[in-house]
Structure 1
Amino acid sequence: MTAASSGLASSRSASPWWRPDIHADRRSFLLSRVKAMAAVRAFFAAEGFLEVDTAILQVSPGNEAHIAGFATEFCAPDGTKTPFYLQSSPEFACKKLLASGEPRIFSLGHCFRNLERGPLHHPEFTMLEWYRAYEPYETLGRDCGALLSAVARALGVKSLTFRGVSADPFLEPERVSVAAAFERYAGIDLLACLPGDGNGRERLAAAAGKAGVRVTEDDTWSDLFSKVLSQLVEPHLGHGRAVRLDQYPACEAALARLQPDDPRFAQRFELYACGVELANGFGELTDPVEQRRRFELEMAERQALYGTSYPIDEDFLSALAIMPQACGIALGFDRLVMLMTGAAHIEQVIWTPLAPTDGAP
């Protein structure tokens, strides 16, 4: 064994997943996963959707500042090497297919995000995404409620559960604006703290500190927004019934259209149940010039924070120029199975989780 391979082996523990007794403890969750996957496919088939199988190798893992990609490379027979990334989402590929003329598509496949592992995160996970061309953004909200009900019915589940919190999957999700949620759960007037007037960061910092959130000098407006959302708002969302948290500030929706009646906000919502974020939906941006500008801002922020950035998929921007108006949403399938089964950790509902590492929780 080489020194390098010895060091690699020493950083990993033997995986417990293949012991028959431990697998037996997980098996009911995994069988429910199989039923949930079949229910999802049946739901979209009944709605006239086409399932698409997108390539995992992409020229970019996406251009959002806080999403870390897995890098690899293609080695051609002549020795030429071309960098690629494992997809963090099938979004770019799906939108290319919308541009090609596919009107209703969904993808149910594996995605990869680095630096993410915990009870609700796994570096390789399953994402469900669906897109409707020529249909309004509001349609996605109805889809979410109908999908939760369909999967629950297929599994014989009457309640979603996580960490002692429950939600009825057969009730229509409640719609709450981000501003209303900040006021309700954090006591913060978000409308008075938006970043547009130049003093928004200071106002939000003062309000967050007063609400008990730890504020540091290098926190950006987005950092403060995320802290308040994750610490004070999210834990209260989706108790009793799912919640559609709607109308995100424009700066928090890099791939979404702006609200036509109030451009301070975007056509973006997130679906929560039992305090868990399940899905992220958009009225899709179709302006390639504006999309490039947003990507460049995101990558400048990533470079400043992490010292790295990712290439922009020029093929995607070209497709965006001819893509029709559409709405689309990404849902964490593993998390959906967790709530349907009452699992406490995402690795209980994944057939072959990664082996433990020294850095894993």
Structure 2
Amino acid sequence: MPSVPTPWWRPSAHQDRRPFLIGRNRLLTALRAFFAGEDFTEVDTSILQVSPGNETHLHAFATDLIDADLSVHRFYLHTSPEFACKKLLAAGEERLFTFTKVFRNRERTATHSPEFTMLEWYRSGQSYERLMDDCACLLALAAETGGLERFSYRGVETDPFAEPERLSVADAFERFAGIDLLATLAPDGASNRDALAAAAHGAGLRVAEDDSWADIYSGVLVQMIEPHLGQGRATILYEYPSVEAALARRTAHDPRVSERFELYACGVELANAFGELTDPDEQRRRFLMEMDEKERIYGERYPIDEDFLAALAIMPQASGIALGFDRLAMLATGAGRIDQVIWTPVA
């Protein structure tokens, strides 16, 4: 018979976890001080939303809101505070950050929890390269707060004080998989499934007949690229294919790629950033494409937040980033599982 884990609320289990939890608190205090020093405003966004987000592989928790007249409205627990934060940018906020609980279904591993804390921050009028600088500062601050010289997770180490490597997705595909990714994308950013399938097969990756371009791309990224990221020093993987960056604007130099980057340390993805798309018509088109794909794969789709699209029309140019706070707390405290740094983990 498999052993039953000791409930987190048992005194013995809590005492084992408590050093990680106190470390989490210290990190939270340090990060708040960092943003205060950068003249940011902390905001508190609502968790109940009319749409949880419109990305193909994000899965939400649904609930019903019942008004006093007993009318019923479908709402969702947000998967990110992004829509709310961008509405605040449209309202006139220029630098904002938030720590908030977010909820994602179908996700539970050593580094995933169905309920977790996300740190998001936005800089109005600044490029997404400025967020890369923020990431380097926060990694060093997390290590200092935890009294660590290096981060270590599952045998992989990262120097949090070293300047992160900036590696484009196209260069990563070439370096680690020998695949010319841009050759599988048309000048307007459209994807060529057969070209990528042939390249992936040549790199030794199994490709199913019904795999889409996105399926193959994800397979290469997860199996052949991500294990190499954040080793020795952090990696900033940037310029994602535009078809994989639904909320980001395209780069000025190549419409095949967009202003999106992800931050990795010890092979762990910590953050996801965008140079924000502000064209509501283009955003609607992308959302509909994402929801069509979601319906094809999972048989469901989420509504579009019309207020969000209306806010985009008056939102200034900005850059924004979402960081998994619990994952950063894991690295800063030496925890091995995400539930060790969550005060009351989901049972």
In the alignment, structure 2 segments of 5+ residues that lack a partner are none
Corresponding residue number in structure 2 for 1:3: none
The equivalences for 1:1-361 within 5 A come to: 16-194=7-185, 200-355=192-347
User: Once the 2 structures are TM-superposed, how far is the Cα of residue 194 of structure 1 from its aligned partner?
Assistant: 2.2
Q: Deviations over 1:159-202 (max 9, x none)?
A: 11110111111111110000111111111111222256978211
For residues 1-33 of structure 1, the C-alpha deviation after alignment (integer angstroms, 9 at most, x for no partner) is xxxxxxxxxxxx786111111111111111110
1:74-122 superposed Cα distances (whole Å, 9 cap, x missing partner): 1112110111000100000000000000000001110000111011110
Distance 2:19 2:222 in 1: 31
Q: Once the two structures are superposed, what CA deviation does each residue of 1:259-312 show, in whole Å capped at 9, x if it has no partner?
A: 011111000000001111100010000000000000000001111111100000
Which residue pairs with 1:5 in the alignment? none
CA drift at 1:48: 0.5
Secondary structure of the residue aligned to 1:167 is strand
* CA distance, structure 2, for counterparts of residue 289 and residue 77 of structure 1: 35
| Aligned residues: CA RMSD | 1.4
Contact kept in structure 1, 2:6 and 2:13, CA below 8 Å? no
Task: Write the distance in 2 (CA, Å) between the matches of 1:350 and 1:36.
Answer: 13
Question: Partners in 2 of 1:255 and 1:141 — Cα distance?
Answer: 18
CA contact (8 A) 1:114 1:123 kept: yes
State whether residues 69 and 113 of structure 1, in contact with CA within 8 Å, keep that contact through their aligned partners in structure 2: yes
- Write the distance in 1 (CA, Å) between the matches of 2:5 and 2:199: 47
TM-score normalised over the length of structure 1: 0.93
Task: Please give the alpha-carbon distance, in whole angstroms, between the structure 2 residues aligned to 1:192 and 1:314.
Answer: 36
Unaligned ranges ≥5, structure 1: 1-12, 356-361
Say whether the 8 Å CA contact 1:158–1:169 is kept in structure 2.
Answer: yes
Give, as a single letter, the amino acid of the residue that structure 2 aligns with 1:335: R
Paired with 2:190 and 2:87, the residues of 1 have a C-alpha distance of 37
1:310-342 deviations in Å (ceiling 9; x for gaps): 000000001000000000000000110111122
For residues 131 and 182 of structure 2, what CA distance do their matches in structure 1 show? 25
SS of the residue aligned with 1:263? coil
Amino acid at match of 1:229: L
Q: Aligned-pair distance for 1:219?
A: 0.7
Distance (Å, rounded) in 2 between the aligned partners of 1:15 and 1:105 = 39
Question: CA 1:296–1:17 in 2, change beyond 3 Å: closer, same or farther?
Answer: same
Conservation of the 8 A alpha-carbon contact between 1:195 and 1:201: no
4+ long deviations beyond 6 Å: none
The verdict on how the C-alpha distance between 1:49 and 1:201 changes in structure 2, with shifts beyond 3 A counting, is same
Q: Indicate if the aligned counterparts of 1:238 and 1:273 stay in contact, CA closer than 8 A.
A: yes
**Aligned AA (1:286):** T
SS at match of 1:354: coil
Distance 2:62 2:149 in 1: 42
Distance 2:269 2:7 in 1: 28
Q: How many residues align?
A: 343
Q: Is the 8 A contact 2:142 2:328 kept in 1?
A: no
Opposite residue 52 of structure 2, the aligned amino acid is P
Matched letter for residue 142 of structure 1: D
Decide whether the 8 Å contact of 1:129 with 1:328 is kept in 2: yes
Counterpart AA for 1:50: T
Within 2, Cα distance between the matches of 1:187 and 1:40? 39
Q: Which amino acid aligns with 2:29?
A: A
Q: Which amino acid aligns with 1:287?
A: D
- Cα distance, 1:109–1:198 mapped onto 2, change above 3 Å: closer
C-alpha contact 2:191 2:243 (8 A) present in aligned 1: no
Amino acid in structure 2 at the alignment position of 1:153: E
Secondary structure (helix, strand or coil) at the match of 2:247 reads: coil
Distance 1:198 1:70 in 2: 32
* Aligned sequence identity (%): 62
TM-score (norm 2): 0.96
